[in-house]
Amino acid sequence: MDFSLLLPDEICLKLGERARERRLLLNISVEELAQRTGISAQTVSSFERTGKCTLANFVRILESLNATPDLQTVLVPQTNTIEEMRAKSAVQVRQRAYRKPKSPS
């Protein structure tokens, strides 16, 4: 499934469904997953139905489902050509975002 074609709520829903499928494949109950993650069974169940939970709980669930390696490619900068790699290495990486000067009131 191409997530780039989905709305944010649809992506969340799909991730919840995938977590449920993986949990069932591993033959783990909601209660057992909740115990492993340290979050409530209601939170796990809600995440599987809606795809919504905190990022920390999402990572805990993935960890308990042995799915953290799936995160390796999330938000990794994409480099396609040697020229792009050279240009990227020549640019100094910013440590902070640019702060706009305050306009006089």
3-state secondary structure of 35: helix
Q: How would you class 34 by CB atoms within 10 Å of its CB: exposed for 0-12, middle for 13-18, buried for 19 or more?
A: buried
The predicted structure's pLDDT at residue 13: 97
Query: Which of the residues in the chain have pLDDT under 70?
Result: 79, 92-98, 105
Residue ranges making up the domain that contains 35: 3-71
Q: Percentage of residues in the chain with pLDDT exceeding 90?
A: 62
Residues 4-13 pLDDT 10s? 889 999 999 9
In a domain, 96, yes or no: no
The predicted structure's pLDDT at residue 67: 95
In a domain, 43, yes or no: yes
CATH code (residue 48): 1.10.260.40
Number of domains in the chain: 1
